[in-house]
Amino acid sequence: MRNAPSRRDGERCEMCAEPVEQSHPHVVDLDSRELMCTCRPCSFLFVPEGAAAGRYRAVPERYQQFPEFALTRAQWEALGVPVGMAFFFRNSRLGRVVAFYPSPAGATESELTVAGWEEVVAVNPGLADAEPDVEAVLVADRNVEGPVGAGEDAFDCFLVPIDACYELVGHLRRQWRGFDGGQEVRERLQRFFDDLRTRSRPVRTGQEAS
């Protein structure tokens, strides 16, 4: 999927050409895998399932954290993700879950092992509630988030709008310096996860995720 476009003065809705605010909704074009900037009235048109013959879907604004998320280091390595953070979502056109991780080149797809992901979901069934194409499961090794989890052998897990993931990827790509990204990238990651914790509703085992 193409990264969400950066903010520009005079940015307009890509559906009706009306001006949009800096914080505005997005719609996913399922055929091109592009994120489209939209005004709120236009985004509402694509909330119902099957709208526009199923080509477009509005990105929700749901944020959740899974405090009881269970993942071992061995399970993470079995997923085949080469870094400590990735987001996972179901691509309805491909009919499977795909995984992407941030890199200097932008969002990079990882060759996800299906069996490994199914094992993770079996232990954490709430992850299956993410809406295809428009919501992602973001998993991060606490060692990549900054001081909050430094040194801990544990992972955090959030359910987030897909545009939040691509916004983060875009910021990291622009700020990346050297081999490991540099201090700016580390500070950006810490701010991002601090913000996620603030806005996310905790969902525990047995709770409805909606």
For residues 20 and 39, the answer to whether their CB atoms sit within 8 Å is: yes
Of 4-8, 150-154, 168-172, 195-199, the least confident = 4-8
- Half-sphere exposure for 25 (CA within 13 Å, toward CB): 20
pLDDT in tens, 90-127: 999 999 999 998 888 888 999 898 899 999 999 999 99
- Structure-token match 């052998």, residue found: 153
For residues 8 and 40, the answer to whether their CB atoms sit within 8 Å is: no
- The per-residue DSSP string of 154-169 comes to -EEEEEEEHHHHHHHH
From CA 124, how far away is CA 120, in angstroms rounded?
A: 6
**Tokens matching residue 82:** 């080469």
User: Cβ atoms within 10 A of the Cβ of 109, count?
Assistant: 11
pLDDT at res. 151: 47
pLDDT in tens, 162-190: 999 998 888 777 766 655 666 777 788 88
3-class SS shares of the chain: helix, strand, coil, % to 5 = 30, 25, 40
Report domain extents, the chain: 8-59, 64-202
- Structure-token match 């310096």, residue found: 177
